[in-house]
Each structure stands twice: as structure tokens, then as C-alpha cells.
Amino acid sequence: MTSASGPGEDSDRRNVSDAAGVVVLGACAVWALITAAVRAGRPEGVLLAVLAVAAGYAAGRICGALLPVAPLCAAALTGVGLVAAAPRLSPGPEIVAPLGHAGGAAAVLTLSTGAACCAAWAARAPVPRLVLRTLAAGIVVTAAVLGSIGGCVASGAVLLASLAAGRMRGHRGAGFAGLALAAALTTALPWAVAGRALPEGLTASLEGQLTRHRVDLWHDALHMAHRDAGLGVGPGRFGELSTTAAQSLLSDGKPHSAPLQQAAEQGVVGVLLLGAVFCWMLSTLWRSPRPTPVALTAGAALTALAAIVSVGNALSFTTVSVGAGLLAGLAAARPLADESARPQTEVRPARDRLAP
């Protein structure tokens, strides 16, 4: 059974995906304003993050349409350069590791690895592809040299996932289903630890790795979420109401878990909107006209980012928000050269529409 899928139908699908992104990001901004108005919160951070993701995605779509490989290379090199030149990424209090700026650096390195791997799959000649894969491996090594253990592990996972993506050209849907499941499991970890839902031995082991201070912050966030699940305590107010944060000499006022921060400050709706943004990005990549390895590699990088932000404050850095949107946009863009070369009467089997 076959079905016609011309440029017009592909354009319609992209328009639907773009419209969904506008709705989701707009809802995030509106809900932040509503909860801030009711709870006397400060929505500036959320609004800046929404704007950063939207700007990065738009820039990625434009640059990816003009040049399929060069912007991905530039994004990878820029990310590594930023971390190497300024590991803290932004000014602020020097918080004891593993809190503070380590999560932001790990996130940027992970996104850089994803960009390099996507560029390797987008390159057509074998020599540039080998060079770009070497660059991706070099970023993993750089993360280890810089002392970013989380960045090294996450970047290595993205590199391995990218190599595996080459064997899933006809199974794009299954690949994205696996990524969504992995993101759900990693996001559930801080909730399980904060709610003491894990076996005692495993909880003690995780607390040793995560630090007791971080786990106490999670307990405070979960308590706030239970106390006011509807609207939360208001954007930017966690640091004022958290006993653990108040007792810390140097605190950034965040629980170091994006899902728990959303639950504490914006209630259940905030958590659902955060999940909707991630699902929109995966859906956009699933519908992407780029080759399946490119789309799956970008999805793997965003999934690794989801794992990082679930146990850290990486989304507090504008660089990370812009980078996530940029990578999604680059991997979702259809190069103009492909549009001009594609026959107007092309007929593609239905099974191939998910795997260009």
C-alpha cells in the first residue's frame, strides 16, 4: 500500500509541528505569568528560558535549511569553546560541587557532542564524516580533562547512541519510543529519591553520589508541591521558602531538579508543560525530513540533557536553553537544496515517510 507524500504534505506536517511548538512555549510563558501574579513570584527566569528555546530553534531551522552541515559543526565547536574558556558559563556564587555550574557545563558538552555526531551523519563524504566523529570523541575526552564527569558520561552515551542510530534507518519510531522511555525513567529518579520510594540501601547509595544537600533540596521541593499542587509557590520563590536553601551559606535558590522545581513553583501544570516541551521536540525530530541517524542522534542528545536537568540546574543557564533549541532546529530543518532537487510528483511508501 502506497501513499503520495509530496512537498505540500511535508510542509503541512512541518507547519503543524511548528504550530504545536508555538502553543506549548506560549503556554509555558502564560502559565508562569499567571502563577507569578497569584503567588507574587518572579517569572523572568522562565520567560527568558522560553525565549531562548524559541530563538535557538528558529535560528536552527533557518541555518539548517541554508547549510546542512556547517552550522552543526559551528555549534559543536562553539559549545566546547564556551566551556573551555568559561567553565562556569555565567556569573554567580561559587557553589560547592557537584551543585553550581557543573550541570550547565555538562549539558553544553552533551549538546556539542550531539551536534558533532549529527554533522557526521549529515556529511556525505567519508573523510569529513570521519573527522566529525573524531571531533565528537574529542569532546568526550575534553569533558574528562575538564573534570566534568557528568559531561563525559552523557557525551559518551550520545556518541554510542549515534553509532547505534545508523542501524535503525527503518525503525525511527521505535528509536524515539525508546528515548521517551529513557527520559521518563531518569526524570522519575529525583521524585523517587525525594519521596523515599526506593529501597533503603539504594537510597543511601544514591545520596552518597548526589550529596545529602541536594537530596534535602528535593525533599523541600516535593513538600512544597504537595502543599500546593495547583499553582505552586510561585516562580523564583523556592529559595525563599526552602529551609535547606536558607541554611546554606552559598545557595542559588534552586532545588537542582527541573521537574521538581516546576512542581514546587508552578504546580502540576508546570510539570506537564515542561514535559510537553520535551515531547514537542521529540515529535519534531520524529517528523524531521533529515536522515534517521541525524534525527535520532539529536533526540539522544536531548534525552541526555533531560537526564542532566532532572538532577541539576542546567536549565538555569541561557546557553543550555539556546543550545537545546538550536540543536532541535538544525536537526529538524529541511535543506533548501533537497527541496529544489526533489521531484514534485514523488511518491513514497508509507513505511518510508518516517525514515527518509
Section 9-38 average pLDDT? 87
Angstrom distances, CA of residue 324 to CA of 7, 204, 279, 337: 27, 33, 13, 25
What local confidence, expressed as pLDDT, does residue 123 receive?
93
pLDDT of 154:
95
What b-and-e string marks burial along 200-233, b requiring 16 or more CB atoms within 10 Å of the CB?
eeeeeebeeebeebbbbbbbbbbebbeebeebbb
**Position of cell 533531560?**
306
- Helices 149-165, 126-145: inter-axial angle, 10-degree rounding: 160
Question: Between vectors from CA 296 to CA 273 and to CA 320, what angle results, nearest 5°?
Answer: 50
Confidence (pLDDT) at 204:
84
Decide which of 104 and 264 is more confident: 264
> Cα(27)–Cα(276) distance, rounded to whole angstroms?
10
The larger pLDDT score, comparing residue 170 to residue 82, is at 82
**Confidence band (pLDDT; 50, 70, 90) for 101?**
low
- Report d(CA 278, CA 186) in Å as an integer: 13
Summarised one tens digit per residue, pLDDT across range 293-328 is 999 999 999 999 999 999 988 998 999 999 999 999
Pairing of strands 2-4, 347-349: antiparallel
Instruction: For the full predicted model, state whether its pTM sits above 0.95.
Output: no
Q: Is 109 exposed, middle or buried (0-12, 13-18, 19+ CB in 10 A)?
A: buried
Give CA–CA dist 121/254, Å, rounded.
38
| Whether the predicted pLDDT of 172 surpasses 80 | yes
Residue 284 CB contacts under 8 Å (≥ 6 apart), including other chains = 17, 21, 328, 332
Q: How confident is the model at residue 94 (pLDDT cuts 50, 70, 90)?
A: very low
Lowest mean pLDDT among 15-19, 48-52, 95-99, 197-201: 95-99
What cell was used for 290? 533529515
Q: Are 61 and 11 in contact (CB under 8 A)?
A: no
- Three-state SS for the chain is CEEECCHHHHHHHHHHHHHHHHHHHHHHHHHHHHHHHHHCCCCHHHHHHHHHHHHHHHHHHHHHHHCCCHHHHHHHHHHHHHHHHCCCCCCCCCCCCCCCCHHHHHHHHHHHHHHHHHHHHHCCCHHHHHHHHHHHHHHHHHHHHCCCHHHHHHHHHHHHHHHHHCCCCCCHHHHHHHHHHHHHHHHHHHHHHHCCCCCHHHHHHHHHHHCHHHHHHHHHHHHHHHHCCCCCCCCCCHHHHCHHHHHCCCCCCCCCCHHHHHHHHHHHHHHHHHHHHHHHHHHHHHCCCCCHHHHHHHHHHHHHHHHHHHCCCHHHCHHHHHHHHHHHHHHHCCCHHHHHHCCCCCEEEHHHCCCC
